[in-house]
Copies of this chain bind each other. A is one copy, B any other.
Amino acid sequence: MKIGELSRATGTNIETIRYYERIGLLPAPDRTAANYRSYGEGHRSRLSFVRHSRELGFTIEEIRSLLDLSDDPSRDCGEADRIASLHLAQVEEKIAQLALLRDELTRIVGRCRGGIAADCRVIEALGDHSHCESAH
């Protein structure tokens, strides 16, 4: 498989594939006589793993650990669970933060009744944190 095919097969930008190789997330594939990269099924599934994990918001370093784990099938599964649980906790915290933020923005946006900027409640609210109801 050439890089363009792998790109289409996994929905990954070609530049991104080369980037993953450069940072050591994907192993360097064999080359054809013309120096084109030549991928196999192993590369495809590894790249799918990486992309799916990225979609789920794992960082590259987390993915590196998860890949190390799956490269050595005798290792304990607990670490994969720990990484995923930690990530889940981070996502939950992010959601909670954004919810506070949404409430604050809703309050701010609701205050605009038109008019000129001098009297703008939106701009006033942005300038003065003390109008806020919660920490963010």
> A residues near B, CB below 8 A?
45, 48-49, 52-53, 55-57, 66, 69-70, 72-78, 80-81, 84-85, 87-88, 91-92, 94-95, 98-99, 101-102, 104-106, 108-109, 112, 114-120, 122-123, 126-129, 136
Interface pairs (8), CB distance under 8 Å: A48-B127, A56-B104, A70-B127, A76-B115, A77-B117, A87-B105, A91-B98, A91-B102
Report Cα–Cα, A29/B1, bound state, in Å: 59
Please name all residues of chain B whose beta carbon is closer than 8 Å to the beta carbon of A72 when the two chains form the complex: 117
Report Cα–Cα, A70/B123, bound state, in Å: 7
In the bound complex, do residue B109 and residue A84 qualify as a contact, i.e. CB atoms below 8 Å apart?
yes
Contacts A94-B98, A136-B56 given; indicate if A106 touches B120 (C-beta within 8 A).
no
Report Cα–Cα, A84/B127, bound state, in Å: 13
Report Cα–Cα, A87/B92, bound state, in Å: 21
Contacts A101-B56, A117-B76, A129-B52 given; indicate if A109 touches B85 (C-beta within 8 A).
yes
Q: A48-B127, A74-B117 are in contact. List 9 more A-B contacts (CB 8 A).
A: A48-B128, A66-B126, A72-B117, A77-B120, A77-B122, A80-B120, A87-B105, A92-B102, A95-B98
